[in-house]
Amino acid sequence: MFSKLKKAVTLILAGAVLLTVPQVPAFAYTDAPTREVKSVKASAASGSSIAASGSAIAVTGGSIVRAHISAKQDNKSVRLTVSHTDGKTGNHITGYQIYKKTGSGKWQLYKENTKRGTFTVKDTKVKYKKSYSYRARAYYKDESGKTVSGKYSSSVHVKIGLTVSKAVISAKPVKADVKLTISHKKAGKISGYAVYKKNKSGKWVRRATLKKTGKTSYTDTNTTSRRKNTYRVRTYYKADGKTYYGAYTKSVSVKVAVSPVTKKITDKKSAVYGKTLVLYQYADGSMVEDPTKYVDEDSFQKYVMYVNKAKQYVTAYGVRDGKLYPLRAFICSPGYATPVGTHHILAQMRWHELMGPCWGQWCSKVASNGIYFHSIFSSQHNSNNTMSVRGYNNLGTTCSHGCIRLQAGSAKWIYDHCKVGTTVEITNSTGYEPFSKPVIEKLPSWHTWDPTDPTAQKYCKAHKCHKYAK
Ligand SMILES: [Zn+2]
C-alpha cells in the first residue's frame, strides 16, 4: 500500500495545469497531508513561474482510511456510530459520508459531515417494522472542491422495533379494590400498557390504557366480591399512527371478598366493652367502612347509636340476636352540655327550629332538655342553602350548645333508620371503636349548603363542585 500510494500522488496547480510528481516522499503517508501539500506547493512555486495560489493536492481512494459503522435501533430511531478502522488518526480526511438504503431500495447519501474522529448520528427518519441499511466512507476534499473517497465500510442492517417489551404484573387486594403493579421487561421500548379484566362470562374486556412507560400501578375500584377478579396486561407501542402490542402477561386473580368476623370487646375503656360485635372485613384485614351493602338491614331488630363526645363522632350499630353490627360512623359536633348517659329518641322532625333562631333538618330528639341529632343549621326557615358554612367546617370539634350536629346525610340516615325509642348511648369513651373518626372536606364560604344533603344536590350540580354521595 505504501509504494502504491507514492506513485499515485498527484499535484494539481491552479489553471488546470497538471503536474505529476512521482516521488514526493514527505507526502507519502502522513496524517497531515495539508501541511505537506503546502511544502510541495512552495517548492513548485519557487522552481517555476507558475502561480501557485489555489494549489491543492488530490489523494487517491487507496490512501483514505476506511470507515467503520455500527447501528443500534430503539424502536423509534437508529443510532449510528461512525469511526475508521486503520489505526491511523484520520487527520488527513475531510469527513465522512453516510449512505442509507430503505429495504431493498437504492443507496442514497444520507449525511455528510466534516468530523474526523468517532461520532454518532441519530436517524429519526425511520418507520416501525421497516428495514434499513447504512454504510459510510471517509473522503478528502481539496481546495478546488474535488473529492476523493475512501472505500465503503461494510454495511449494517437494522429492522426497527422488532421487540415490544412484555409487561409484568402483580396484584393484591386493598380493601375492596385491587391494586395492580405493572412494569415491563427491559428489552424494547413501549408507549404504555393496556389492562384487561375478565368479565362475568369469562371474556376479556379492556379496562384501562396507561400512558406510562416505567413502573406504574392501576387500581380497580369496580371489583366484585362474588368471584375472583382476574387481570392481564400487555404493553403497546405506537409508531406511524399504528399500535403494536407486546405479549399478554399470564393472568392474575385476586379475591376481595368481605367476610364477617365476630369479636368480643375486651377493652374496658370502650363504650361497647363486653359486647359481641360482628365486623365486616376485607381480604386484606381492614374494616369495611360502610358494610350496609353486605348486611341485610331488614334483619336488624333495632339500631343503637353510640355518641363519642370525646372523639366527636357517632357510630351506628344494627342489633341482631344480641350482637352489634357496626354500620356507619358519622362525624359530629357535640357540646359541653351534651348529656352523657343512656337516652332514647323521643321524637323526629323533618325541619325544626333550634336556638338562634335557626333551623335544622332531619332532627331526632335525644333528651327532653332540647338535645337533638340534626343537620348543620340554616339561618332561614326550611332553607337548605342558607346553611352555616362555619358550622359545617367545625364538624369534628366540640362547639354546639348541647345538640349533636351532623352532616345532613348522617342526620337523614338516623332519621330514616332509627325509630322513636331507639337507644342513644352518649359517652366520653377513650377506648376501642370499630371505625376510625371520619374526615370531611372543608367547604368554601360560598358553599352555603351541605354537599351530603340530597335536597341540595342541584346546587352542587350547578357549581360542578360535589358529586352527591349517599
Ligand atoms: Zn358542592
**pLDDT by residue, tens only, the chain of 470 residues:** 344 444 333 333 333 333 333 333 333 333 333 333 333 333 333 322 222 333 334 455 567 888 999 998 887 899 999 988 766 656 678 899 999 999 999 999 999 988 888 899 999 999 888 899 999 999 888 888 888 888 899 999 988 876 788 999 999 999 889 999 999 997 667 899 999 999 999 999 999 999 999 999 999 999 988 889 999 999 998 876 778 888 899 999 998 888 899 999 999 999 999 999 999 988 888 888 888 878 888 889 999 999 999 999 999 999 999 999 999 999 999 999 999 999 999 999 999 998 878 999 999 999 888 899 999 999 998 899 999 999 999 999 999 999 999 999 999 999 999 999 999 999 999 999 999 999 999 999 999 999 999 999 999 999 999 885 54
Domain range list for the chain: 2-58, 61-159, 167-254, 259-463
CA 242 to chain CA centroid, Å, is 22
| Residue 288 to residue 324: CA distance in whole angstroms | 15
Residue 455 Cα to ligand 1 midpoint, Å, equals: 12
CATH topology of domain 259-463: L,D-transpeptidase catalytic domain-like (2.40.440)
Ion ligand 1 residue ranges (Cβ < 5 Å): 451, 460, 465-466
Cis check: omega of the bond before 438, within 30 degrees of 0: no
CB atoms within 10 A of CB 148: 19
Which residues lie closer than 8 Å to 178 by C-beta, 6 or more apart? Answer: 171, 172, 219, 220, 223, 229, 231, 254, 256
| CATH class, 167-254 region | mainly beta
> By C-alpha distance, which of 336, 334, 371, 375 is closest to 358?
375
Of the candidates 409, 413, 400, 410, the residue with the CA atom closest to the CA atom of residue 457:
409
Ligand 1 centroid from CA 437, angstroms: 22
Question: How far does the centroid of ligand 1 lie from the alpha carbon of residue 450, in Å?
Answer: 7
User: What's the gap in Å between 463 CA and the centre of ligand 1?
Assistant: 7
Angle at 135 between CA 134 and CA 138, to 5 degrees: 145
How many angstroms is it from 358 CA to the middle of ligand 1? 22
Cα separation of 195 and 373, whole Å? Answer: 46
- What's the CA-to-centroid distance between 461 and ligand 1, angstroms? 7
Separation between Cα atoms, residue 209 and residue 305, nearest integer Å: 45
384/362 Cα distance (integer angstroms): 12
Task: Output helix, strand, coil percentages for the chain, rounded to the nearest 5.
Answer: 10, 40, 45
Measure 464 CA to ligand 1 centroid, in angstroms.
Answer: 7
- C-alpha 404 – ligand 1 centre gap (Å): 23
Q: Which CATH number fits domain 61-159: 3.40.228.10, 2.40.33.20, 2.60.40.10, 3.40.50.2020?
A: 2.60.40.10
Give residue 234 CA to ligand 1 midpoint distance, Å. 39
What is the predicted pLDDT for the residue at 29? 35
| Distance from C-alpha of 375 to C-alpha of 414, rounded to nearest angstrom | 11
How far does the centroid of ligand 1 lie from the alpha carbon of residue 454, in Å? Answer: 11
The whole-angstrom separation of Cα 132 and Cα 339 is 85
Q: How far does residue 445's CA lie from ligand 1's centre (Å)? A: 11
Dmax over CA atoms of the chain, in Å, equals 130
CA 457 to ligand 1 centroid distance, Å: 8
Q: How far is CA 336 from CA 41, 84, 333, 408, 410, in A?
A: 109, 89, 10, 22, 21
Query: Is 259-463 in the same CATH topology as 167-254?
Result: no
Residue closest to 83 by CA, chosen among 95, 68, 94: 68
Rounded to whole angstroms, the Cα distance separating 396 from 135 reads 75
Cα of 447 to ligand 1 centre, how many Å? 6
> How many angstroms separate the alpha carbon of residue 411 from the centre of ligand 1?
18
With a threshold of 0.75, does the pTM exceed it? no
Distance 318 CA to ligand 1 centre (A): 30
